[in-house]
Amino acid sequence: MDKVLVVGGAGYIGSHCCKALAASGREVVVFDNLSTGHEDLCLWAPLVKGDVCDKAAVSQLFEDHQFSAVFHFAAKSLVGESAAKPAFYWNTNVSGTMNLLDAMVHHSVPNIIFSSTAAVYGEPDRPLIDETQTLAPINTYGRTKVACEQMIRSYAEAHQLGYVCPRYFNAAGADADLETGEDHSPETHVIPILLEAARGIRGKFSIFGDDYATSDGTAVRDYIHVTDLANAHVAALDHLVLGGESVAVNLGTSQGASVKELIEVARTTTGKTIPTEVAPRRAGDPAQLVADATKAQTLFNWKPTNSTLEQIIDDAWRWHLKRF
């Protein structure tokens, strides 16, 4: 049985990926420092506590296990924090990735799936974004992810590594069986914040701008169910194992939803009124960010089958009621 390493497997996307990998018949080991992850979400693999920035700990991990692939989710990802603490982000995101790559080369681990982001594109010049869009990140977080992608390509060229760099758009929802889901502190993602307002934990839900050039004036984003995202990662590894090319690909649905649409679906799903208020636009927020996910669907024979707004919000709502 193939044994795979999931770095950051106690986190939101990582834990869902662990479930999908286990379902595919792989043996999984989680490596996580639990700075944002949760030990109780490690249901499909043993947890080795450790930090990617600890080179000795990473080396020992690879000495103790013979891995066939690495899934790398461990990163700092808050845009505002990345501006205030650039050294922390460069060290964690970039140096941590280098430690993993060095260990992979030393122990002849052939494949890596690296968690990237649509933030590598910055402010795109087109509403439907494909992989030919220029990489022009506008914040430290996005810049570290571009640097990691470039570093992975360099290692791949020198050491014949296979890689896929999935660039996420808006991961959302929760495991339909409610075994894992989103649990961040502080919470920064729009759907959990919306559900916190539905539960009365927050006051009014803020709509940041209602005068965009969109159908209803509010910003449009591409929301992909986290289970679809996890299944895409398994498909990406299958692609590499079968000799497929190393690539960076967008993971989204190729469909956009506005903030007002989110609110209406959440009101219907939860049965709550959800008070809202219009707030000023946030700097750097484009009117529309939607993935062209054709490349991933074609290469990996994969489709997002769980990503209707109704299912995303229903699964997230049921998880929130259980978890909190």
pLDDT above 80 (res 297)? yes
Residue 308 near residue 269 (C-beta atoms within 8 A)? no
Q: What is the pLDDT of residues 175-205, one digit of tens each?
A: 999 999 999 988 889 999 999 999 999 999 9
Nearest to 134 by CA among 149, 147, 124, 146: 124
My answer on whether 75 and 123 are in the same domain is: yes
pLDDT digits 0-9 by tens, 113-152: 999 999 999 988 887 999 999 999 989 999 999 999 999 9
Same domain, 152 and 301: no
The pLDDT score that the predictor gives to residue 104 is 98
For the residues 248-271, what does the mean pLDDT come to? 97
Whether 179 is in a domain gets the answer no
Total number of domains in the chain: 2
3-state secondary structure at position 307: coil
Residue among 141, 155, 163, 223 flagged as catalytic: 141
CA geometry: angle 57, 60, 63, nearest 5 deg: 155
89 part of the active site = no
For 207-224, letters b (16+ CB in 10 Å) and e give bebbebebeebbbbbbbb
Q: Under a CB-based contact definition with an 8 Å cutoff, are residues 167 and 157 in contact?
A: no
For residues 13 and 88, membership in a common domain is answered with: yes
pLDDT tens column, 78-106: 888 998 999 999 999 999 999 999 999 99
Mean pLDDT for the stretch of residues 35-59: 97
Q: What is the mean pLDDT of residues 163-184?
A: 97
Same domain, 45 and 124: yes
Find the CATH number of the domain harbouring 269: 3.90.25.10
Q: Which domain holds residue 19?
A: 3-171+225-251
Q: Are residues 124 and 50 in the same domain?
A: yes
Helix axes 309-323, 190-198, angle to 10 degrees: 60
Spatial distance between the Cα atoms of 129 and 171, rounded to a whole number of angstroms = 16
pLDDT at position 127 is 79
Give the predicted TM-score (pTM) of the model.
0.96
The DSSP code sequence of 179-207 is SS----SS---HHHHHHHHHTTSSSSEEE
Do both 133 and 197 map to the same domain? Answer: no
Task: For residue 83, tell me if it sits in a domain.
Answer: yes
